[in-house]
Homo-oligomer: A and B are copies of this chain.
Amino acid sequence: MRTESDFVKDPIVIVNFKTYAEVEGEKCLALARICDKVASENGVSIGIAPPLIELSKIASEVEIPVFSQHIDIRKSDPRTGHVTLRSIKAAGCAGTLLNHSERRLILADLEDLISGAKENRLITIVCTNNTGTSRAVAPLEPDYIAMEPPELIGGDISVTTANPGIVRDAVKAVKDISKDVKVLTGAGVKTSADLKKALELGCAGVLLASGVVKAKDPKAALISLCSGITTL
């Protein structure tokens, strides 16, 4: 059985597939395989978060860690149209994003889901929007906090260039509360310079989406992004 420490190494690059047209139907598995290949051929740690409806399929087809984009509840109650923590574990996922800016959670659920993920050995990547919310999530001790200023998401300029101070502040705020919680950053991240800058600022990696998914050549974009780092 795969466990956290088996395949999640830092620095890590998490590719969020979102629900872009570029990952509909067969194209989703194709992109997942590209990420898988780049990871093994280039010795970098890459995780992916495919659309919800592709999750079980992708988790059974690739070697790299697969994350759910969201979960709703911990238990296996009758909850038509929702995603349970237990079901993503059973599908072979490594973990889950939580509280993405496009899918926020109320605090009580966030706390419960992080706690449930720990019990089930699922990795949690909790998205936050600024230093304040990063500081609030830190005591819950997820594996990662991914700080993404919403105004920069999907844009052309990386958060590490537009506002390195906010990244540095978030890293410091989180580490002051818990040394064990690692910080990722995202929003506008596209190049290897963005990634290196994120690492310099104290991050354990990056969370990105359009920079790879909507690239003309996603494989080239991912290889370029990861050039210069080696993690595996």
A interface vs B, CB < 8 Å? Answer: 16, 18-21, 24-26, 28, 49, 51-57, 60, 68-70, 76-84, 86-88, 90-92, 97, 99-111, 115, 128-130, 132-133, 135-140, 154, 173, 177, 209-210
Contact = CB atoms under 8 A, between A and B. Distances in A.
A63 B104 CA distance: 36
Contacts of A99: 106-107
A140 B135 contact: yes
- Copies of this subunit: 4
Contacts of A77: 19
A76 B86 CA distance: 28
Nearest to A100: B80
Given A111-B133, A111-B136, A139-B139, A210 B78 contact: yes
Given A52-B53, A56-B53, A78-B210, A107 B133 contact: yes
